[in-house]
Amino acid sequence: MIESESFSEQEEQSAVSGGPEHSKETANSGKEFPMIAKTMAELEDVLAGELIALGANNVEIGTRMVSFTGDNALMYKSNVCCRTALRILKPIYTFKADNADEVYEALKLLNWDEYLALDNSFLIDSVVFSHIFTHSKFVAYRVKDAISDWFTEKYGKRPSVSVTNPDLVFNIHIAHNKCTLSLDSSGESLHKRGYRIAQTEAPLSEVLAAGMILKTGWHGESTFIDPMCGSGTLLIEAAMIALGIPPGIHRQHFAFEKWKDFDEKLFSEIYNDDSGARELRYRIIGCDISPKAIAIAEKNIKNAGLKKYIDLEVKPFQQFTEAPEPAGILMTNPPYGERIKVEDMDELYSMIGERLKHVFTGYNAYILSYRKEAFDAIGLRHSKRFFLYNGALECEMREYEIFSGKRDERPAREFSGKKTSRKDEYHYERNSREGYRRSKRTERGEDDRAQSGFGRKGKDNRTQSSSGFHREGERTQSGFGRKGEDERKQSGFGRKGEDGRTKRLEGKPFKPVNRSFGKERDSRLREHSSDVDRKSYGRSFDKEHDEFPRKKKDYKSGKVFKTDKRSSDMPHPGKKGEYSKRKDKPGA
């Protein structure tokens, strides 16, 4: 697990492993200390870019996390300004343990007065990836016991545990036998921006919405349209990006505000800093077929203070006859058929492709989905693929460059002379690795084809699919399908039955193709062997054509005899002076 390994390596370089003295130093000084920013899978590169822009040092990308170093000011900024972060952790204690009792004993070595008071409440959040520790809640219980017993032994009473609204949240992370205790500086997950007061049936995560937009490189340089906007998450995140509004500006509180070393003046300066504000020069437009969805989006947009920047309209996608602006970005999250049921999924995505092609010429369109057949129904060739996760669903966001005429008629892009950036290289490498991983797992049959719609391999080894979808590169009667022992080819080949004879297909006689047997082979050889040595066509059973002498071994004596005679020409047993194939049995 890359996340765990990077986590431990980062701390081992920056902290004294197992030393409570390190905790005191980092808690009370303005020096840099290690931090961990958690995020969604496949958004690590975007988050790393955000942290670098804020001034983070030693940035390293892991799995669903980015490690970095910085001071308290950077910790406050990352909570307020990072659009793709879920939470920011501050490691305070690293140690090794081989069982839960060792975790308990190690944590009792800490001076808990530095973090907790008797009137505080706390909560333990545990993440375990280990063959030693198999129950994350039991680990959390032992951490809680260590804290409670430490205070009880010293003061005769202990702080209380609160599940709903704790003053402090501790995160215990175990990778194999490496344990890291961290303070959670965020509290509630950072995807809870604070502006959403209502939602539709299947809302998009704010972190995923922001990550989708940032992956395109859009920062307000053109018109932004979401023709299937739902509760308006993409529209609100796009407006906040274009205007330079920090995503945490609407949150009521952060967990670090209750820490003992909280610097209220420093946080106030960061929170009220509007130096990154920009003017919105292009329209942000949202439409939906549902009046209820538009009403919900309107409430959320008003609560976010963005009503004057976003235009809403009840309008089905298929009723677009012309684009609102000559060019721009179109991004949408259509139904997948999971939480929102659609009668005809292929028809929906076919309509999307048709409208993109005929109405939104000059746009870059980005469609998020997780069904392969949905993308195929669009009928357009994508220019980029972004592998993402929407909850537990492995999704893709595909980019379509909409142009007039044929693809080959597009004007060639001017060569900028710039080399490919490290960010671009990482993006393509990351997408290539993830795409390869998913394709290989699909080939092994580990994907849930019942949900994704891919063909399932049946008992007769043929592809079964209600949608007619088959794996690429394998042939069926319709053109593509799985190749099995019972494969019926249009070339006329039959399959063998239980009696070993070839069965006829559809009443047609069996005709060998590109094969010859017996006399047919001899006639063909005579036609083509006038100037070619006949033995090159295969084995000859004539004595005169043998190139290598036959070898026979006497397994009793171990001697090998060379002979040009075949076994059928060998003398009978018992003849003197000749090798006998048979051996008399002992005692005969």
**Three-class SS of residue 34?**
strand
- 84-88, 277-281, 393-397, 460-464 — which is least confidently predicted? 460-464
User: Tokens for 174?
Assistant: 């175990």
Confidence band (pLDDT; 50, 70, 90) for 341? low
Q: What does residue 426 show for φ and ψ, rounded to 5 degrees?
A: -65, -40
pLDDT digits (tens, 9 = 90+) for 255-289: 999 998 899 999 999 999 988 899 999 999 999 99
Taking the CA atoms of 399, 401, 405 and 411 in sequence, report the sign of the dihedral they define.
negative
> Is the separation of the CB atoms in 176 and 5 below 8 Å?
no
Look up residue 43 and give its DSSP letter: -
Confidence band (pLDDT; 50, 70, 90) for 498? very low
> Is the separation of the CB atoms in 301 and 193 below 8 Å?
no
Q: What does residue 545 show for φ and ψ, rounded to 5 degrees?
A: -95, 0
> Is the separation of the CB atoms in 362 and 397 below 8 Å?
no
Amino acid making up residue 105: E
pLDDT digits (tens, 9 = 90+) for 53-78: 999 999 999 989 999 999 999 999 99
> Is the separation of the CB atoms in 247 and 50 below 8 Å?
no
Residues 93, 105: Cα–Cα separation, whole Å: 13
pLDDT digits (tens, 9 = 90+) for 372-391: 888 999 999 999 999 999 98
**Three-class SS of residue 77?**
helix
Cβ neighbours for 68, distance < 8 A, ≥ 6 positions apart: 34, 35, 37, 51, 56, 57, 58, 59, 60
Q: What predicted TM-score, i.e. pTM, was given to this entire model?
A: 0.68
Question: Which stretches of 289-442 are assigned E, i.e. beta strand?
Answer: 310-314, 328-332, 363-369, 384-390, 393-401
Residues 358, 403: Cα–Cα separation, whole Å: 9
Taking the CA atoms of 110, 265, 240 and 61 in sequence, report the sign of the dihedral they define.
negative
Average the pLDDT over 525-547 and give the result: 44
Q: What is the CA radius of gyration of the chain?
A: 35
pLDDT of residue 418 exceeding 60, the answer is no
Domains, the chain: 2-184 (3.30.2130.30), 206-248+278-409+421-436 (3.40.50.150), 541-583 (no CATH)
Average the pLDDT over 551-558 and give the result: 56
- 105-114, 340-349, 395-404 — which is least confidently predicted? 340-349
> Is the separation of the CB atoms in 235 and 284 below 8 Å?
yes
Bridge partners (DSSP) listed for residue 467 = none
> Is the separation of the CB atoms in 370 and 390 below 8 Å?
yes
pLDDT of residue 142 exceeding 60, the answer is yes
Average the pLDDT over 327-348 and give the result: 79
Residues 4, 70: Cα–Cα separation, whole Å: 20
**DSSP element (H, E) containing 129:** strand 121-129
> Is the separation of the CB atoms in 28 and 174 below 8 Å?
no
pLDDT digits (tens, 9 = 90+) for 467-496: 333 333 333 333 434 444 444 444 444 444
In the block, tokens 């719609």 appear at 453
Residues 234, 231: Cα–Cα separation, whole Å: 9
